[in-house]
Amino acid sequence: MATLQLQDVRSGYGYGPDILNGVSLEVETGKAYCIIGPNGAGKSTLLKTVAGLLKPRTGQVLFDETPIGGMRPDLVLAAGVCYVPQDRSLFPEMSVRENLVMGAFLETDKTVVAERMDRVFEMFPVLEDRLNQRAGTMSGGEQQMLALGRALMIEPRLLMIDEPSLGLAPQIADQIFDIIRRLAELDMTLLLVEQNVIRGLECTDWAFLLDLGELRIEAPSNEILDDPRIRELYLGRQKETTWQRGTGVGEES
Amino acid sequence: MAAGNRGRRGIVTHLLQVVILGLLLGGVYALMASGLTLMFGVMRIVNLAHGVFIIAACFVAFFLFQGPGWDPFVSIAVTMPLFFLIGVGVYTALFPRIEGSARFTEMTVLLTFALALIAEGLLSYFFTGTVRSTDPSYKTDAILLGDFFIPTAQLLSSITSLVLLIGLWAFLYFTRTGYAVRATMQNRTAAQIVGVNVRRVSTISFGIGMALAGASGSLISFLFPFFPARHWQWIAILLALIVLGGLGSLKGAVVGALLLAVAAGIVSDQFGPTWSPMTFFGALFLILLIRPQGLFGHQARVG
């Protein structure tokens, strides 16, 4: 059964050109999806459009058959779609606990919030240790864990994660991918955007390949991983940039 | 200020007296500045009309005093809710139209400048430019505390400001809406993605900022003589206070207000009252040169 459907969606920023040029796709309940593609392909734009941060210019976004395209972000979240942006978007002056509490802003039952927080601590023990630390002072990896933990506080039915490994040292990124794999195994519907294509495909069931705002290919993730033509066309280039990034300076740990 | 008594008092006592008077005024400055900085912090609005709404509230307090004879402190019960509603109305009517603008903050400067001109014009048209002031019985009273002279009106105003500021703090830190306001101040996108309706939070915050302007107007109505064009002087001082504290920082607004009120008092005492307003602009120049983000501000953020 389809959870999320995009029908011929065009979207972009302000008065700028279309970044998504009529994308149609379907996401099924309980599966994990990875959106791959070169820079500027429209991957983040797609997530922002679903999250309600951008209004689709044409086309429709359906969640459980209900149109959510152009709805306010808080209403999209209330419908069950949660978005973890590239920059993590934490509340830097608030403590870890306050950030998690804010994650459950729409949940008014305090006992439910406490239960969920315990579940988040099971998955991210480091957050329990840092409960009173200000989010802005944590390392990149810890901030990403807090961003994921905060998203789980609302128990979304669809979790969209934008570039979770961005700016993280390889071993820290590995930890994040382990967590994403565990979420996928828990049958949470996941929509992941990842520059580190190989790792992204490894922890998902199905992949969408976007290029210049259009959906080029969709296939099971492992088929894309094994397809020599796609490897050469898209993954090869990605692999190279990943490697270059890996040796770059100024990485956070 | 008490310059005539100088010979009889020790220099320390005299200086402390100046500091006390400065702090008492500073409390009211803090109340005015906190509303202004809240608007910038939550919505990135620079509200140049803040001063004119304070003056408008002075008129409300003035006519409530003249007509039904309400004490200016009692009139806060009218000015606060009234200006909250005016704030909600003004925000809803004007700001959503420019919300998506790439230069939102710059647009708000122009928009609120126009609003200030229009409001000043209306006030002048209806109430003339006469200098007014409410005259409650305690206006010239003072308490003598040891060697110190404490004007009753300023003491009461300062206590009232403190109570209102504590109320604001409690709202921000202990209520659900308060959390939403602080979240929006720290990261607007993040607030949206955890389910905060930022339009609603912005409207409420603008209303609260205006309610604080309303309360300040009741107090200013007897502390300082007022007339419509007086608001330019107030907004200039208020901008200096919140830039010193760090734009958008409530703590900064309070500390900036107390610091500069005391500094202005000392300058006035040493060099004469004509130099007192210069303190604010001198401090503004200095802070922009040395620490442009202000005492408690952050480095400029985009958006």
For B32-70, the pLDDT digits (tens) are 999 999 999 999 999 999 999 999 999 999 999 999 999
For A73-93, the pLDDT digits (tens) are 999 999 999 999 999 899 999
Q: In whole angstroms, give the CA distance from residue B181 to residue B243.
A: 21
List the alpha helices (DSSP H) in B44-187. 50-66, 72-94, 104-127, 152-174, 176-186
**Number of C-beta neighbours around residue B286 at 10 A:** 11
DSSP-derived letter for residue A85 is -
For B4-40, the pLDDT digits (tens) are 555 555 888 899 999 999 999 999 999 999 999 999 9
Whether residue A151 sits in one domain with residue A167: no
Among the three residues A107, A136, A155, which one is the final residue of a domain in this structure?
Answer: A155
Per the structure, the count of domains in chain A is: 2
Q: In whole angstroms, give the CA distance from residue B72 to residue B139.
A: 11
Q: How confident is the model at residue B183 (pLDDT cuts 50, 70, 90)?
A: very high
**Number of C-beta neighbours around residue A46 at 10 A:** 29
The pLDDT mean for chain B works out to: 92
Coil, helix or strand at residue B29: helix
Give A51→chain B minimum CA distance, Å: 8
Query: In whole angstroms, how large is the CA radius of gyration of chain B?
Result: 19
Residue A150 in any domain: the answer is: yes
Residues whose CB is less than 8 angstroms from the CB of residue B201 and which lie 6 or more positions away in sequence, other chains included? B42, B177, B180, B181, B184, B191
Candidate from B179, B187, B192 with C-beta closest to A74: B192
Whether residue A168 sits in one domain with residue A150: no
Stretch B154-169: mean pLDDT: 96
Residue A218 in any domain: the answer is: yes
Q: How confident is the model at residue A151 (pLDDT cuts 50, 70, 90)?
A: very high
Which residue in B23, B20, B88 sits closest to B53, CA to CA?
A: B88
Whether residue A151 sits in one domain with residue A36: no
Whether residue A179 sits in one domain with residue A123: no
Residue A41 in any domain: the answer is: yes
Q: How far is CA A64 from the centre of its chain?
A: 19
Q: How many CB pairs under 8 A join A and B?
A: 64
For B82-138, the pLDDT digits (tens) are 999 999 999 999 999 888 788 899 999 999 999 999 999 999 999 999 999 999 999
Whether residue A110 sits in one domain with residue A19: no
Whether residue A182 sits in one domain with residue A121: no
Which residue in B222, B228, B186, B261 sits closest to B31, CA to CA?
A: B261
| Residue A91 to residue B195, Cβ atoms within 8 A | no
Whether residue A223 sits in one domain with residue A105: no
- CB-CB contact of B158 with B151 (8 Å): no
Whether residue A75 sits in one domain with residue A95: no
Q: How confident is the model at residue B146 (pLDDT cuts 50, 70, 90)?
A: confident
Closest-CA residue of B relative to A153 is: B194
| Residue B186 to residue A101, Cβ atoms within 8 A | no
Q: What pLDDT is recorded for position B298?
A: 72
Give B191→chain A minimum CA distance, Å: 8
Which residue in A208, A200, A205, A171 sits closest to A185, CA to CA?
A: A205
The residues of B whose Cβ lies within 8 A of any Cβ of A are 100, 102, 176, 179-180, 182-183, 186-187, 189-197, 199
For B211-245, the pLDDT digits (tens) are 999 999 999 999 999 999 999 999 999 999 999 99
The pLDDT mean for chain A works out to: 88
Task: Give the rounded percent of residues in chain A with a pLDDT score beyond 70.
Answer: 91
Q: How far is CA B274 from the centre of its chain?
A: 22
Position A245 pLDDT exceeds 50: no
Q: Report the complex ipTM.
A: 0.86
| Residue A77 to residue B194, Cβ atoms within 8 A | yes
Q: What pLDDT is recorded for position B6?
A: 52
Candidate from A52, A89, A98 with C-beta closest to B187: A89
Residue A249 in any domain: the answer is: no
Q: What residues make up the domain containing A37?
A: 2-80+157-242
Greater model confidence, B146 or B257? B257
Position A18 pLDDT exceeds 70: yes
Greater model confidence, A39 or A130? A130
- CB-CB contact of A239 with A65 (8 Å): no
Whether residue A194 sits in one domain with residue A211: yes
Q: What pLDDT is recorded for position B299?
A: 57
| Residue B196 to residue A105, Cβ atoms within 8 A | yes
Position A45 pLDDT exceeds 60: yes
Q: What pLDDT is recorded for position A239?
A: 47
| Residue A78 to residue B195, Cβ atoms within 8 A | yes
Distances B54 to A20, B119, B123, B154, B205 between C-alpha atoms, Å: 48, 11, 12, 17, 17
Candidate from B176, B189, B199 with C-beta closest to A89: B189
Stretch A153-160: mean pLDDT: 94
Greater model confidence, A247 or B248? B248
Residue A247 in any domain: the answer is: no
Whether residue A133 sits in one domain with residue A104: yes
Among the three residues A155, A174, A207, which one is the final residue of a domain in this structure?
Answer: A155
Among the three residues A100, A130, A155, which one is the final residue of a domain in this structure?
Answer: A155
Q: Which two tokens stand for residue A251?
A: 């990485």
pTM above 0.90, yes or no: no
Q: What pLDDT is recorded for position A102?
A: 95
Q: What pLDDT is recorded for position B297?
A: 82
Q: What pLDDT is recorded for position B195?
A: 95
| Residue B190 to residue A90, Cβ atoms within 8 A | yes
Closest-CA residue of B relative to A75 is: B195
Stretch B260-271: mean pLDDT: 94
Q: In whole angstroms, give the CA distance from residue A240 to residue B171.
A: 52
Beta strand segments in chain A, E: 2-12, 18-28, 32-36, 58-63, 66-67, 81-84, 158-162, 189-193, 206-211, 214-220
Q: What pLDDT is recorded for position A1?
A: 63
Whether residue A76 sits in one domain with residue A163: yes
Distances B169 to A211, B88, B136, B162, B182 between C-alpha atoms, Å: 49, 20, 30, 10, 11
Residues whose CB is less than 8 angstroms from the CB of residue B248 and which lie 6 or more positions away in sequence, other chains included? B37, B40, B41, B185, B297
Whether residue A42 sits in one domain with residue A53: yes
Q: What pLDDT is recorded for position B279?
A: 93
CATH for A195 = 3.40.50.300
Q: How confident is the model at residue A69 (pLDDT cuts 50, 70, 90)?
A: very high
| Residue A91 to residue B192, Cβ atoms within 8 A | no
Q: In whole angstroms, give the CA distance from residue A129 to residue A138.
A: 12
**Number of C-beta neighbours around residue B258 at 10 A:** 20
Q: In whole angstroms, give the CA distance from residue A119 to residue B124.
A: 62
| Residue B189 to residue A106, Cβ atoms within 8 A | no
Residue A248 in any domain: the answer is: no
Q: Which two tokens stand for residue A85?
A: 């942006």
- CB-CB contact of A159 with A47 (8 Å): no
Stretch A123-144: mean pLDDT: 94
For A178-234, the pLDDT digits (tens) are 999 999 888 789 999 998 888 899 999 999 999 999 999 899 999 988 887 777 766
